[in-house]
Amino acid sequence: MSPSVAPLSPPDSFLAGTREHSIELDAEEKRRIGLFLALLLDANTRTNLTAIRDPEEAWTRHALDALSLLAVLAEIPAGGTVLDVGSGGGVPGLVLAIARPELRYTLLDATAKKCEFMREAASAIGLSNVSVVQGRAEPLGHDRGERVNEGGTSRREGGMRESFDLVTARALGRIAVASELTIPFAKVGGLVVLVKGAKADEELEEAKGALHLLHASHAATILTPTGRLVVLEKRRTTPKNYPRRDGEPKRTPLGVQRARVE
């Protein structure tokens, strides 16, 4: 990662978007987001992290898009835990870690080079509330950690399954797929936020069977500057057989008739 990268300045379009949606950022938060975007675009010249290469578009499609999740994060108290599944180049996870530093973030991705970039970017920005995990959601969604016995009582230590107050995902596939890869990580009563586009309602209708099987429900759909946020609430413990094996959620989306997939 180049040490000479300078932060990008926020364009008028981004500033107008934050005003329109009542998103408040101080000068240091804008500088940090600008540094993240500069690092992302610089690294993208060597490693494929994002299809966006224009700085102004990055402010809108990455930063403003990520900040739209703050409306949901407002429900998470200080010290709460957030997991970003398929974090890729660090969006929305790193942007949210800048804007809500009192929360703890775990960024999950299966690609080593993307994880390396996120770790280096978090360090360069000075984020101490971020950890990066390399791995697939399917096996990690079953990771319950270790059982520790102390003084006649037993407790679980570590693990990712049902451990997070909020789980986010962007570009993880249709809702029937993304829900199986995210809901197992959320605590009972926790939320899952999927960043979606104009077909969100169509995908939700398709995903009714999946949400029923995963013991979750549709809580809200929030319009954003660039699309929609689909908010799911986890009602009960995820059945132990979900998520299914690597690649199966994408190959045969849960609760969706095969004729609609092909």
Integer Cα distance of 259 and 250 in angstroms? 15
Measured CA distances, 204 to 42, 113, 172, 198, 215 (Å)? 36, 32, 14, 11, 15
Q: How confident is the model at residue 146 (pLDDT cuts 50, 70, 90)?
A: confident
Report the percent of the chain where pLDDT is more than 90.
87
Listed by start position, the domains of the chain span: 72-261
pTM of the predicted structure, to 2 decimals: 0.92
When the pLDDT of each residue in the chain is averaged and rounded to a whole number, the result is 93
Give 26-50 pLDDT, tens digit per residue: 999 999 999 999 999 999 999 999 9
- Give the 3-state secondary structure of residue 168: strand
Distances (CA, A) of 258 to 181, 250, 251: 19, 12, 10
Separation CA 248–CA 222 (nearest Å): 29
SS3 249: helix
The token pair that represents 233 in the structure block: 């609430």
Q: Rounded to whole angstroms, how far apart are CA atoms 9 and 195?
A: 25
**Is the confidence at residue 234, as pLDDT, over 90?**
yes
Structural class in CATH, domain 72-261: alpha beta
- Give pLDDT tens digits for 166-192: 999 998 999 999 999 999 999 999 999
